[in-house]
Amino acid sequence: MPDMDNAVDIIIIGAGPAGLTAALRLQQLGYRVQMLERSATWPRPQIGEALTPGVKNIIDMLDANEALAAVPHLAGLSTRLRWRSTTPEIAGHGDAAVINRAAFDAALLQLARQRGISVCMPARIEDISGTAGDWQLHISTPAGRQQITARFILDAGGRSNGAQQYACAPRLSAMWVELEADQVFNNIAHNIANEMANLTQVEALEHGWLWGTRLPDLRYRVMLVSDPQTAHQKMPGQAENWLRWNCANSELFKTIAQVPYASRLQACTATPYLALDSWQDGRLKLGDAAFALDPISSSGVEKAMRFSLQAVVAIHTLLGSTDSNRYECHDRYELARHFFEQRLTETCARHQYWTQSYYAQAWCSEHPFWQSRAGIATNCADGAVAGDDHPLVRAMHEQSAQLRDYQPAELKPLSTFNPCQPLRIHPAASLAESYCVVDDRVQKQLALSHPNLERPISFLENQALFPNLNFLWQPQPLAHVLLKLEQSMGRQTSQKITAWLWQRGVLESLA
Ligand SMILES: Cc1cc2nc3c(=O)[nH]c(=O)nc-3n(C[C@H](O)[C@H](O)[C@H](O)COP(=O)(O)OP(=O)(O)OC[C@H]3O[C@@H](n4cnc5c(N)ncnc54)[C@H](O)[C@@H]3O)c2cc1C
């Protein structure tokens, strides 16, 4: 705990994956960080045990592999899906992992402490006053009341019902329960039990979907995600019956429909949203505080951690320079804000696009639950703002539309490349300014756009494309192209970049 007059650079509220990722990264960059966590029980239970493979490289970046090695987990799981058709299929061959989330968060928190990050827990925030650059927080802890001052506040307090939330899809709620694994597997044939123990299962049903997996502690978790209104209409006040009824009417979970529950039934809202107030001067939201994803992707933890890394880049752009020139400061502010908001809306847009396509593929997609989720997003969550005209919502919709319009071009085989023909940048390509990360700070960089590219690119093989490629607006013999590029990036890299752009039609050969 810092002393009364011991100010820190950044206060982080919440010790979930978002807050901890930000804390560890900011500390690596040399900032003094103070974490506040309100939970009196620690490790505290938390939903979100299935981790997508992308978490691995974030853990590498945080140098946290060793700290997480002892976290109970099941690795190499595949998924049995009854989704695209009524015949189950195996997907994601062994790339999923299920962890004990409480232990995962606790191990990261312990690592933060070991690295010298100050953690105050349990802490209750009583009030926040001040302005960007000079915040004062009064907190109460079992040791008494404390004041902390900070230049920046990061709110990583998780999912909430904030008034400034834009619902990115129709309402969803989740309910889940745990069963004793032996009760789940005892009543079924040995081979099926064996399979079920090593697979995550997901099944689309008329009114929602079911997800089930063995947990590292040998329990089995089953979760139903459905529209809360339908649940209320069909079985008002009978959550347990609703879950059992859906299991009984499923293919993959019917054997467990009547198994006694080994935990109390829990439920929460699961509507995806975007918090429109995620950027305030000197005060940012991270993870579920900034956006929540549909649990169907099982990627909330990865996206929360990744967005924290991006937010740290924005913060480092703002705080990591000693230059106090007014215009420089203003430029840095604009760069940081634009980058933060662009990454936020891009995360939501990509997820919305993926989710809608995924819901559209369900075998039962003609039913209302699926129709409404496969279509254009509607803003219908309780307490959501009618935010369609908000710049962040407009940006998210524009990015979604671009993703819908994008048709990936087939890669041209290199065997058809004719080295005797001159090369030039395809006339449909154009240059625009884009926001890139260089040395952990945001920079404006020229980026190449082309209909065959999913997004504008500034770098390939760690090399800035421009001004290096400028001479290629005019046709050039291949030997000249390679010779010129080699001067700045070496032969192998020049060849790789030339081939990459040509295969996608961004460089064209002229007959
Ligand atoms: C039903 C459901 C299933 C899901 N399944 C998956 C899944 O399988 N895989 C996956 O990757 N994701 C899943 N998710 C998403 C995942 O749970 C979240 O994306 C993830 O937990 C977000 O992490 P976070 O750090 O932002 O927030 P959290 O993990 O919620 O952490 C927030 C922390 O902040 C603390 N806090 C809150 N307010 C304060 C305060 N005022 N002061 C101090 N501390 C505070 C809380 O105690 C908590 O410790 C699921 C979500 C739902 C709803």
208 lines ligand 1 (CB under 6 A): no
Q: Specify the 3-state DSSP secondary structure of 24.
A: helix
CB-count exposure of residue 30 (10 Å: 0-12, 13-18, 19+)? exposed
Task: Give percent of the chain with pLDDT exceeding 90.
Answer: 85
Q: Which of 37, 51, 55, 303 to mutate to test the pocket of ligand 1 (most atoms within 8 A of CB)?
A: 37
Please give the average per-residue pLDDT across 357-376, as a whole number.
Answer: 92
212 lines ligand 1 (CB under 6 A): no
Ligand 1: centre distance to CA 169 (Å) = 19
237: pLDDT strictly greater than 90: no
Q: Which residue ranges make up each domain of the chain?
A: 51-99+173-269, 414-509
CA distance 307 to 319: 18
Ligand 1 atom with the smallest distance to the CA of 174 is 1
Please give the average per-residue pLDDT across 479-498, as a whole number.
Answer: 96
- pLDDT at residue 380 in the model: 45
Structure confidence by residue, pLDDT tens digits, 264-319:
999 999 999 999 999 999 999 999 999 999 999 999 999 999 999 999 999 999 99
Contact (CB, 8 A) for 78 and 93? yes
Q: Specify the 3-state DSSP secondary structure of 147.
A: strand
| Most confident among 192-196, 235-239, 423-427 (mean pLDDT) | 423-427
- pLDDT at residue 386 in the model: 60
342 lines ligand 1 (CB under 6 A): no
Contact (CB, 8 A) for 27 and 8? no
Structure confidence by residue, pLDDT tens digits, 28-78:
999 999 999 999 999 999 999 999 999 999 999 999 999 999 999 999 888
pLDDT band at 3; cut points 50, 70, 90: very low
Output 489 or 378, whichever has higher pLDDT: 489
Name the E strands within 32-141: 33-36, 50-51, 73-82, 89-99, 118-120, 124-131, 134-141
From residue 321, give the alpha-carbon distance in Å to each of 134, 152, 314, 315, 337. 17, 15, 12, 11, 16
153 lines ligand 1 (CB under 6 A): no
Output 166 or 186, whichever has higher pLDDT: 166
Least confident of 6-20, 84-98, 238-252, 274-288: 84-98
pLDDT band at 222; cut points 50, 70, 90: very high
What fold characterizes domain 51-99+173-269?
Answer: D-Amino Acid Oxidase; Chain A, domain 2 (3.30.9)
327: pLDDT strictly greater than 60: yes
Contact (CB, 8 A) for 336 and 317? yes
pLDDT band at 384; cut points 50, 70, 90: very low
Please give the average per-residue pLDDT across 494-498, as a whole number.
Answer: 97
311 lines ligand 1 (CB under 6 A): no
Amino acid letter at 443? Q
Q: What CATH architecture applies to the domain 414-509?
A: Alpha-Beta Complex (3.90)
CA distance 103 to 42: 9
CA distance 252 to 192: 10
Please give the average per-residue pLDDT across 391-414, as a whole number.
Answer: 93
Ligand 1: centre distance to CA 106 (Å) = 13
CB-count exposure of residue 173 (10 Å: 0-12, 13-18, 19+)? buried
Q: What's the CA dihedral at 283, 286, 290, 292 to 10 degrees?
A: -170
pLDDT band at 377; cut points 50, 70, 90: very low
| Most confident among 173-187, 319-333, 436-450 (mean pLDDT) | 436-450
Ligand 1: centre distance to CA 63 (Å) = 22
Ligand 1 atom with the smallest distance to the CA of 44 is 49
- pLDDT at residue 18 in the model: 98
- pLDDT at residue 189 in the model: 77
Q: Which segments of 219-299 does DSSP mark as H helices, in order?
A: 228-234, 239-248
Task: Spell out the residues 6+ positions from residue 141 whose beta carbon is closer than 8 angstroms to its own.
Answer: 1, 120, 122, 123, 124
Ligand 1: centre distance to CA 194 (Å) = 31
Mean pLDDT for the chain overall: 93
Ligand 1: centre distance to CA 159 (Å) = 6
Q: Fold match between 51-99+173-269 and 414-509?
A: no
Please give the average per-residue pLDDT across 216-236, as a whole number.
Answer: 94
Structure confidence by residue, pLDDT tens digits, 176-217:
999 998 888 887 777 777 777 889 999 999 999 999 999 998
CB-count exposure of residue 325 (10 Å: 0-12, 13-18, 19+)? exposed
CA distance 328 to 346: 27
Please give the average per-residue pLDDT across 466-474, as a whole number.
Answer: 96
287 lines ligand 1 (CB under 6 A): yes
